[in-house]
Amino acid sequence: MLSKKDFLHIVKHTPLISIDLILENKKGEVLLGWRSNLPAKDRWFVPGGRIRKDEKFQDAFSRIVREETGMDKTMEEAEFYGVYQHFYPGENFAAEPGIGTHYIVVAFRLRLEQNLNRLPKDQHTDYWWAPVEELLSAPDVHLNTKDYFNGKKALSTSKE
């Protein structure tokens, strides 16, 4: 495990790689969590997490799903949603002034058959099954989350 100082150095100088989860229930509502930590603190955001050094991508996916939802799912059960860039100018986990955070995010959608009743509270203090129309108009849903639903394209190699 890195020290806070070492991790802050990494955040300052390199992008982080993460996986975001677009979790849909039978009604088409999307699970959002009220973030209790930086970046994106005090905003609704989809669950997700960083990939760790020397962690295989598929293992990271399963770990993140388990930690964020308590479910055991594999990447093969999910739909690839795209690769996105998330920038948080001036925001970092340590609240150090002048240091922003940059993520390269690989997003996946999981359609859920079961209800999630006991969700962890370490990074989210509350949860909301949000209809897409409502999350798009809600001022406290983070723009990076809205981008999954507002027609903004993921990174692509096409020349548009």
Longest C-alpha distance within the chain, in Å? 44
**What predicted TM-score, i.e. pTM, was given to this entire model?**
0.90
Q: Rounded CA gap, 55 and 51, in Å?
A: 7
Summarised one tens digit per residue, pLDDT across range 21-77 is: 999 999 999 999 999 899 999 999 999 999 999 999 999 999 999 999 888 999 999
Q: How many helices (H) and strands (E) does the chain have?
A: 4, 7
Q: Where are the domains of the chain?
A: 19-146
In whole numbers, what is the pLDDT of the chain averaged over residues?
A: 90
Specify the pLDDT at position 142.
Answer: 96
Minimum mean pLDDT range among 56-70, 83-97, 122-136: 122-136
**Percentage of the chain surpassing pLDDT 70?**
92
Q: The domain 19-146 is classified under which CATH number: 3.40.309.10, 3.90.79.10, 3.10.20.30, 2.40.160.10?
A: 3.90.79.10
Q: How far is CA 134 from CA 131, 137, 138, 150, in A?
A: 5, 5, 6, 12
